[in-house]
């Protein structure tokens, strides 16, 4: 089959009306996937005690969930063309819901990893790419598309930030297991809401799926993150796994080049990396989610493991981050009419750096968790300010026929950032939890350094980058 994909051009007319009705289930799907990545953090102690495992064991389950999402996001995106976007969405929701039920009933860490890390991770990889592809197809004009991206991205950020609060409330009032049952209930609701949704384009069962490329891509990411998880515990294994992961990723690149030279459609086209604007914006996407998930995990572990706070007391403090993301997300459209999208990304990183600075400066002032509020608030404001502009810059850098591929790549990059945040910052604070304050400080300094890298990338995004502007 030719390497040229079918153009993602849907008929107009009734599609716009369907799109407006579809926006709620699409945004809810992104919410529940992001919520799943952070709500476990405040239940770490409860889960570890209940399942007879350690904090590091629960961290591994969280990281593997995020990693499975990231590793399979690109293959999941390609399957939307072959199986259809609505079918992939419903299949992903079904697998995800089954995983939530398995995790809720888990008698030990192994079954928790099966339900949460494996089933929910695979389900997320199938259901998240259709969100952004369908939004692109349903909303043709740049104004409505920007609004849709804003709602969906904002719900993703709110889900990640609200996870600790909701998880803390449920864990304290009922059990950590009820949190998974809540996810299953939300998924069932989304499936019902999707019944009237129509796929704007027919499925293409004859479309080639690059199995070899999928294995190389996923395998490389898996090895890299597993290597990072070994840092601080087994440096030899860290070096071996990281080197193997890098080697597999290099092999994947040369394999893709070979497929393209033979006029075959690869898993991922190298043309996606020829846009300097999109490349830099994807770096900022990766780092945004790395910072949000990394800081959430570090603060949660510090408060629960080192200071001994309860799940509810820890969760409530994250109301500040949730509020910050909500406020900045709601203001995103108004801000985008006044400022260029790259400018908003830069501002987001500056505000986030202020938040990290406050989390470092105020944590020893008193034993009260209230002193974490300013830092988490600024982090929420900063991340919320740049979530939508980053997605908008990446998606708008490519024509409609590339939206399927770039959606998968963009989501994979973001979810890879989430798994890296939990793996890198989490490994630092968990590996030396006995060190108390010093492990917290080290983890936050690392996050601050990574935020500076994100700021540099944001500054280098061309100020005249063509992006979809929100409607007035």
Taking only the tens place, the pLDDT of each residue in 63-113 is 788 778 878 888 888 888 889 889 999 999 999 999 999 999 999 999 999
CA distance 175 to 180: 10
Quick check: helix, strand or coil at residue 465?
coil
pLDDT digits (tens, 9 = 90+) for 345-389: 999 999 999 999 999 887 776 666 678 889 999 999 999 888 888
323 and 240 in a common domain = no
Number of domains in the chain: 2
135 and 235 in a common domain = no
Beta-carbon contacts of 1 under 8 Å, excluding residues fewer than 6 positions away, are 206, 207, 208, 264, 265
H or E element at residue 330: helix 319-330
Question: pTM, whole model, 2 decimals?
Answer: 0.77
Quick check: helix, strand or coil at residue 340?
coil
217 and 91 in a common domain = no
15 pLDDT exceeds 50?
A: no
Q: What's the whole-number average pLDDT of the chain?
A: 82
Choosing from 266, 282, 313, the residue where a domain stops is 266
145 and 32 in a common domain = yes
126 and 72 in a common domain = yes
CA distance 413 to 289: 9
- The answer to whether 80 and 404 are in contact (CB under 8 A) is yes
90 and 218 in a common domain = no
Q: How much is the pLDDT for 191?
A: 94
Q: What is the mean pLDDT of residues 143-150?
A: 72
430 pLDDT exceeds 80?
A: no
180 inside domain = yes
Which residue range forms the structural domain that includes residue 261?
211-266
Q: CA quadruple 445, 449, 451, 455: dihedral positive or negative? A: positive
CA distance 199 to 237: 46
252 and 153 in a common domain = no
Q: What is the mean pLDDT of residues 163-183?
A: 87
């Amino acid at each position: 089959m030719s390497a040229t994909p079918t153009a993602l051009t849907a008929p107009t007319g009734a599609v716009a009306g369907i799109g407006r009705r579809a926006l709620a289930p699409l945004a809810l799907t992104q919410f529940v996937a992001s919520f799943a990545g952070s709500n476990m953090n405040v239940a770490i102690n409860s889960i570890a005690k209940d399942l007879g495992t350690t904090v590091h064991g629960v961290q591994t389950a969280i990281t593997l969930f995020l990693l499975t999402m990231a590793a399979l996001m690109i293959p999941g995106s390609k399957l939307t063309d072959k199986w259809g976007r609505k079918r992939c969405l419903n299949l992903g929701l079904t697998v995800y819901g089954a995983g939530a039920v398995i995790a809720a009933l888990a008698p030990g860490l192994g079954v928790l990893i099966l339900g949460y890390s494996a089933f929910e991770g695979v389900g997320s990889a199938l259901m998240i790419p259709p969100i952004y592809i369908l939004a692109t197809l349903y909303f043709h004009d740049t104004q409505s598309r920007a609004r849709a991206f804003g709602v969906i991205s904002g719900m993703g950020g709110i889900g990640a930030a609200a996870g600790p609060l909701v998880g803390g409330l449920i864990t304290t009032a009922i059990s950590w297991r009820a949190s998974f049952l809540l996810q299953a209930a939300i998924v069932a609701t989304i499936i019902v809401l999707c019944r009237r949704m129509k796929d704007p384009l027919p499925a293409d069962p004859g479309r080639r799926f690059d199995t070899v490329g999928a294995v190389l891509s996923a395998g490389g990411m898996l090895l890299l993150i597993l290597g990072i998880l070994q840092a601080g515990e087994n440096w030899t294994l860290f070096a071996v796994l990281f080197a193997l992961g890098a080697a597999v990723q290099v092999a994947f690149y040369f394999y893709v080049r070979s497929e393209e030279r033979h006029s075959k459609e690869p898993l991922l086209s190298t043309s996606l990396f020829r846009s300097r604007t999109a490349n830099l914006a994807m770096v900022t996407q990766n780092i945004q989610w790395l910072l949000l998930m990394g800081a959430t995990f570090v603060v949660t572990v510090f408060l629960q493991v080192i200071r001994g706070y309860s799940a509810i007391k820890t969760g409530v403090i994250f109301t500040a981050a949730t509020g910050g993301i909500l406020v900045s997300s709601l203001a995103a459209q108004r801000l985008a009419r006044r400022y260029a999208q790259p400018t908003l990304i830069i501002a987001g990183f500056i505000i986030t750096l202020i938040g990290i600075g406050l989390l470092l400066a105020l944590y020893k002032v008193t034993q009260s968790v209230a002193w974490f509020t300013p830092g988490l608030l600024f982090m929420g404001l900063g991340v919320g300010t740049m979530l939508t502009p980053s997605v908008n810059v990446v998606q708008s850098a490519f024509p409609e026929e590339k939206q399927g591929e770039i959606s998968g790549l963009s989501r994979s990059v973001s979810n890879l950032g989430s798994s890296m945040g939990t793996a890198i910052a989490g490994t630092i604070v968990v590996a030396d939890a006995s060190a108390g304050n010093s492990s917290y400080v080290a983890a936050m300094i690392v996050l601050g350094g990574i935020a500076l890298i994100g700021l540099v990338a944001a500054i280098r995004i061309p100020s005249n980058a063509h992006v979809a502007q929100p409607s007035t």
